[in-house]
Amino acid sequence: MPIFALAIPTLKKYRMKMTTSLRMRIIHRYLGFFLAGIMAMYSISGIILIYRNTDFLKSERITEKQLKPNLNTAELDGALKIKGGVKPQKTEGDIVYFKQGEYNAATGMATIKKMELPIVLDKMVHLHKATTNSPVYFLNIFFGLSLLFFVISSFWMFMPKTTVFKKGLYFSLGGMVLTFILLFL
């Protein structure tokens, strides 16, 4: 059953004709209600992603990993798989210090410090950044297409000859111009 069928009892009550404009408005309304939660999640995770290169909302997690003793830098980098790689900053005795932690060459014990978001925010950010390897990337495609539908259907909200519609076109043009300016700054 199409989503706009939910409004048919109302249409029968007022004996209204189902026009393209009316269909667009009905789909726009119910799709908007359906996507309200998803839009909130994407907006929150998008704002958090702005601060991804800082420690905003993150807490330190320390993990210890037993490795083979006396690993060189390349072997240590391969064993730890740290983003940005292992770059030794200093060595004191058997202990090699690097930005994300330390490695005891005598015992093989590595201590890694990592800043992580709380689990719920981390899941939201991963959903926001989903790729084709992620099982939820279809949600991103559906959400993107829904937003595109909102853009298009918004032009059916008002009659084309009204002042509101004409002002809306100016605002749309202004939004496009601002986007292009920000893209090329």
Q: pLDDT by residue for the chain (185 residues), tens digit each?
A: 555 555 555 555 556 688 888 888 888 889 888 889 888 988 999 899 999 899 999 999 999 999 999 998 888 888 888 888 888 999 999 999 999 999 999 999 999 999 999 999 999 898 888 899 988 889 889 989 999 998 888 888 888 888 988 999 999 999 999 999 999 98
Q: What is the pTM of this model?
A: 0.67
The reply to whether 31 and 67 lie within a common domain is: no
Q: 107 with 16, same domain?
A: no
Is 176 inside a domain boundary? no
Verify that 69 and 24 share a domain, yes or no: no
- Does some domain include residue 185? no
Dist CA 54 CA 40 (whole Å): 22
Residue 139 lies in domain: 3-53+119-157
**169 assigned to some structural domain:** no
73 and 103 both lie in a single domain: yes
Sheet containing 101-104: order of strands? 59-66, 109-116, 101-104, 95-98, 88-92
Q: What is the total count of domains within the chain? A: 2
Looking at the fold, whether 18 and 92 belong to one and the same domain comes out as: no
Query: Is residue 180 a part of any domain in this protein?
Result: no
